[in-house]
Structure 1
Amino acid sequence: MASKDQWGSQPPTGAYNPTYQPGPTPNYAPPNEPSYAADQKSPYEGDRFKPKTRINDPLFLIFFILHFAGFVVLSASAIHQWVKDGGLGGGIGGGDTGSSVTLNYHTVILLLLVAAAALVLSVSYLMLTRIFTRAIMHITLIMSIALNIGLCVYYWITKYWSGAIIFTVIALFSFLAYWGYRSRIPLASLLVQVTMDVAKHHKSVYVVAFLALLLQATLSVWFTFTAIATYAKWTPGNPSCNNGSSCSSGKVAGLIFYETFSYLWTSQVIGNVALATMAGGPFGSWYYFGPKEQGMMPRHPTLSAFGRASTLSLGSIAFGSLIVTILDLIRMILNAVRNSGSMDGTPVQAILVVCAECCIGCIEGLITWFNRYAYIEIALYGKPYFRAAKDTWRMLADRGIDTIVNDSLVSMTLTWGAYSVGMLCSLFAYIYLRSTHPSYNVDGQYTAPVILFAFIIGLQFSLTLSSAVEAGVSTIFVGLGEDPQCLAIRAPELFGLIASIYPRVVQGVPRV
């Protein structure tokens, strides 16, 4: 194992510098174990970077296109009527103007402010990750604990019982979990350092991340206008109901459910296409071909990866994204049930639903984590989703890398960061509603959906931007499972730390 200075203390330059020229192969294995110098495989092995020209999972591709077309038609109809009615009034600040029946322009302005705040917070978090790479794990986890405790206290004080109960549970869990994670932070920090350094040499990583963020922002604004217009057009008592349109609370609930489903699924697809583009482009090329300065990397790897992800593999990405979206919706339904139970004076029901939400959240997290590695297999080899998932499971289970992946804090840290951004956005929306007292929310009946919209917008913004780091870390894990010798050449410090903590990983890979 190398000295502590290699990954324990901050270098004078403040950046981690991986080896870009092949040097002597580090002998991390015991003397009786074979060297991996001869195990490095061809970058094109198994049709890697040269997938077959075929559309994978076409049924899910068609389903995705049809659902999005339906959202476009519904959005156009609702927004047209809403604009015709003048947006039902309302504006920034105090809300005694406008319709008191349902959401109006006041909510649009609020959620646009939330989108702007989410953009600023997400970019700021990525910049902090780049500047304070070694400390970002501690900073994020401690800030998350402080935020959870602060929200918990605030909700108890304001008597928002359902929020107070769930954030008490989350605050206790995050506080206890931090003490178990501290010893695992050095490896996760070094993984982030290597990933951020590769991104520094491949500006296309940030280009893809910010383009995806721009698309997410556009989609969020579009979704905001569509949801508000749907409330305005079909809520009983609105002016548009006198024009012959059938209005009912059930219809509004069904349409909002469909629009939320469409927003979440499309948002997932955008983020995962970006992930596949970065994994199959700059990060995958760096791992298997070496830095572009060596001249072995294919031309325009990012554009090639984006072409595959957005066409031939789009159906597979939509398939995997649909699974996570369904779990997201189940969690949102449980959230609505919890709020209803709290308002009806049945806190026991609210607590039981909180437990169910936690279980669904854990399952969703595991599937999201697993899907990320499946998307990398799709990006590198052009596999259909089921085959990619099967091969991913085999790699994680048979080659020993599951130990590292399960202990990695990178994804957890970025998720906590996105969660914090979402919570800050929802808190901003809650305080804004309480401060302005809009006419449609006199009894607080629209507090829950507005806070939920704000949280979703903030969460999706941050997750999309942080996908740049997750793509790099996950690609390193996949490459380590397939060809560990490459990592020994590209980043010997990282390989040495992995070998010293998890020797089974590098010793258990069968020779080819």
Structure 2
Amino acid sequence: MAVIIEDLNRNLLRNLLRGPRQPTTKLFERPKYNDIWAGLLFIAVFLGYVAVSGVTIHRYAKYKGFSGGGIYDASNDFSLNTNTLVLFIFVLCVALAFSYAYFLGARYFSKLFIWVTGILNIVFALATGIYYIVRGQYGGGIVFLIFGVFAIVCFISWIPRIPFTAYMMEVSIDVSRQYGHMFLVSTIGGLVAVAFAAWFSVTLVSIYVAYEPDSTGVNPACPNGSGGCSTARVIGLVVYVTFAMYWFSEWLKNTVHTTIAGVYGSWYFFANSPQGMPHGATRGAFRRATTYSFGSISFGSLILALIQMLRQACSIAQQQEAAQGSLIGSIGFWVLGCFISLLDWLVTFFNRYAFCHIALYGKAYIPSAKDTWKMMKDRGVDALVNDCLVGPVLTMGSVFVSYVCALLAYLYLQFTNPGYNQGGDFTAVIMAFAFVIGLQICQIFMTPVSSGIETIFAAMAWDPQVLVHDHSEMYYRLVQLYPKVQQAIHA
């Protein structure tokens, strides 16, 4: 009798979802090239980065003896040198190790992973704040303590939603285990991110070595003030290569995301259909992401790169104010940084689902964003998305890795005490770049986990009947954990 009643309930629930089903024949059709201007601009900026990097690294190699060959043997006491390069190597190793460990934790221990992420962020933020206060840097210490209190409040509010989030992570990871090449895509993307971060680190140090002027005339790259050296040139080149780094990192992350979203879309629409999974789904998704959708991905990544440049500038200013003991200035820049971070979160959220639509339907960036947002609001899936903690949890994890990298940079500068940083002038800048390196590498490694869930939500918005008919077990489990799902996807 119980079985009969459950069957009747299942049939009743299937009939609740009415409305035309999005024809699957429209999925994965041969698209056209979109947003070509953004793709060409991205290539031009990257080639400019290559040119700047080549020239500055050549000048660095030419005068390498002046900048030292290790941690303590540099004659250069006025700008970044090989000591800084060694630090960035340590930062890269730490970011790679922590990111991969975090990735494995998400893959094998989903529920525990969420708890550990929240607790570690709270403990680390509070400990860092206390450490800064003990060291006499009250501005930075108070900011980190505020972060810690905010993390506590957020985590307590998340506890009721942890079972729902853990199940969505399990679904995403179970699918990825069936198609192990998705982890291969993520691993390759992570390694490319590490390699690019290493390249960026060398380029950044080389810019200072090659063009930082010195009033005493000690810098052999700038004899008697010549050689094109000036503070303005250093600032301009640093801003340019940092912007290029952000844009490339975002493009890489979003290319991995779009590729994996294409595979999850294939699974959602075809895994339990008569046609079955398309052959070479990963290869096809990657080809579309790097050809037809290259411009669209570049466009969306450009918007994020500009916002993140502003956020980093605000972070550097806040840390400099804290180092100078200016509590009001430090808190002021922290508040401004919070607003910029909120804008960054909103645009990132918007982009992720737009890229899911691009992966499935191959449209241009703006039409994809409009269509996805409209459908999610019509279906009510935006409420479902907001109640899933995967995005915030992965962000907290990435920020934790960034904290570790920034703290490593701070401790390294304290213990090695390089000549160029006797007054602490470069501490804020170096910590900010270490933070960014850790954040970007971890986010790229964690892309498969979030991409799967976001694609499932987007596909549910477009065709909820597929969820009920082809993935009924997942649907009924969702109803148990999150009863609102019936209203969220009800047309």
TM-score grouping bracket, smaller chain normalisation? over 0.9
- RMSD value, Cα: 2.3
Q: CA deviation at 1:510?
A: 6.3
Cα distance in 1 between the residues matched to 2:44 and 2:201: 21
Structure 1 partner of 2:353: 373
Structure ranking higher in helix proportion = 2
Contact 2:110 2:169 in 1 (8 A): yes
**Greater mean alpha carbon deviation, residues 343-352 or residues 360-369:** 343-352
Q: CA deviation at 1:489?
A: 4.8
Structure 1 partner of 2:377: 397
Structure 1 partner of 2:326: 346
Map residues 147-162 of structure 1 onto 2, 5 A cutoff: 147-162=124-139
Map residues 353-368 of structure 1 onto 2, 5 A cutoff: 353-368=333-348
Structure 2 partner of 1:385: 365
Matching residue within 214, 235, 246 for 1:253:
235
Map residues 258-297 of structure 1 onto 2, 5 A cutoff: 258-281=240-263, 283-290=264-271, 296-297=276-277
Cα distance in 2 between the residues matched to 1:30 and 1:145: 45
Q: CA deviation at 1:165?
A: 2.6
Map residues 193-342 of structure 1 onto 2, 5 A cutoff: 193-237=170-214, 238-242=219-223, 244-281=226-263, 283-290=264-271, 296-342=276-322
Cα distance in 1 between the residues matched to 2:268 and 2:68: 54
Contact 1:102 1:235 in 2 (8 A): yes
CA 1:490–1:182 in structure 2 vs 1: closer, same or farther (change >3 Å)? farther
Contact 1:28 1:499 in 2 (8 A): no
CA 1:405–1:417 in structure 2 vs 1: closer, same or farther (change >3 Å)? same
Cα distance in 2 between the residues matched to 1:457 and 1:233: 23
Q: Percent identity?
A: 34
Question: Secondary structure of 1:98's match?
Answer: coil
The alignment's TM-score, normalised by the length of structure 2, stands at 0.93
* Aligned-partner residue type, residue 239 of structure 1: P
> Are 1:169 and 2:151 an aligned pair?
no
CA 1:236–1:29 in structure 2 vs 1: closer, same or farther (change >3 Å)? farther
Structure 2 partner of 1:421: 401
Q: CA deviation at 1:81?
A: 0.6
Per-residue CA shift, 1:167-211, capped at 9, x if unaligned?
A: 111111001111111001110000000111111110111111011
> Are 1:49 and 2:20 an aligned pair?
no
Matching residue within 421, 424, 448 for 1:441:
421
Per-residue CA shift, 1:475-502, capped at 9, x if unaligned?
A: 1101111222322355545422433565
Per-residue CA shift, 1:85-104, capped at 9, x if unaligned?
A: 116333545x2533112111
Cα distance in 2 between the residues matched to 1:79 and 1:328: 26
CA 1:269–1:74 in structure 2 vs 1: closer, same or farther (change >3 Å)? same
* Aligned-partner residue type, residue 257 of structure 1: V
Cα distance in 1 between the residues matched to 2:30 and 2:94: 40
Question: Secondary structure of 1:418's match?
Answer: helix
Per-residue CA shift, 1:442-499, capped at 9, x if unaligned?
A: 1111111111121111111110010010110001101111222322355545422433
Contact 2:28 2:360 in 1 (8 A): yes
Cα distance in 2 between the residues matched to 1:85 and 1:264: 28
Structure 2 partner of 1:21: none
Q: CA deviation at 1:508?
A: 6.1
Cα distance in 1 between the residues matched to 2:152 and 2:117: 12
CA 1:376–1:192 in structure 2 vs 1: closer, same or farther (change >3 Å)? same
Cα distance in 1 between the residues matched to 2:75 and 2:42: 37
Contact 1:51 1:381 in 2 (8 A): no
Contact 1:50 1:381 in 2 (8 A): yes
Cα distance in 2 between the residues matched to 1:270 and 1:39: 36
Alignment gaps of 5+ in structure 2:
none
Q: CA deviation at 1:503?
A: 5.0
Per-residue CA shift, 1:291-323, capped at 9, x if unaligned?
A: 69x761111011111111111111111111111
Matching residue within 62, 68, 71 for 2:40:
62
> Are 1:84 and 2:62 an aligned pair?
yes
Contact 1:426 1:455 in 2 (8 A): yes
Question: Secondary structure of 2:300's match?
Answer: helix
Contact 1:324 1:364 in 2 (8 A): yes
Structure 2 partner of 1:34: 15
Cα distance in 1 between the residues matched to 2:129 and 2:10: 48
Contact 1:234 1:251 in 2 (8 A): yes
Structure 2 partner of 1:462: 442
Cα distance in 2 between the residues matched to 1:403 and 1:497: 18
Matching residue within 475, 479, 483 for 1:499:
479
Contact 1:92 1:110 in 2 (8 A): no
The alignment's TM-score, normalised by the length of structure 1, stands at 0.89
Cα distance in 2 between the residues matched to 1:220 and 1:130: 25
Cα distance in 2 between the residues matched to 1:68 and 1:221: 16
Per-residue CA shift, 1:355-405, capped at 9, x if unaligned?
A: 111111111112101110000001111111100110111022111001111
Cα distance in 1 between the residues matched to 2:95 and 2:303: 25
Q: CA deviation at 1:150?
A: 1.1
**Greater mean alpha carbon deviation, residues 133-142 or residues 340-349:** 340-349
Q: How many positions carry a matched residue from both structures?
A: 482
**Greater mean alpha carbon deviation, residues 346-355 or residues 182-191:** 346-355
Q: CA deviation at 1:265?
A: 0.6
Q: CA deviation at 1:505?
A: 4.4
Question: Secondary structure of 1:239's match?
Answer: coil
Cα distance in 1 between the residues matched to 2:65 and 2:275: 57
Q: CA deviation at 1:430?
A: 1.1
Question: Secondary structure of 2:279's match?
Answer: coil
Q: CA deviation at 1:249?
A: 1.5
**Greater mean alpha carbon deviation, residues 502-511 or residues 268-277:** 502-511
Q: CA deviation at 1:504?
A: 5.5
Q: CA deviation at 1:161?
A: 3.3
Contact 2:315 2:432 in 1 (8 A): no
Q: CA deviation at 1:346?
A: 3.1
Question: Secondary structure of 1:107's match?
Answer: helix
Contact 1:399 1:505 in 2 (8 A): no
Alignment gaps of 5+ in structure 1:
3-23
Cα distance in 2 between the residues matched to 1:98 and 1:143: 40
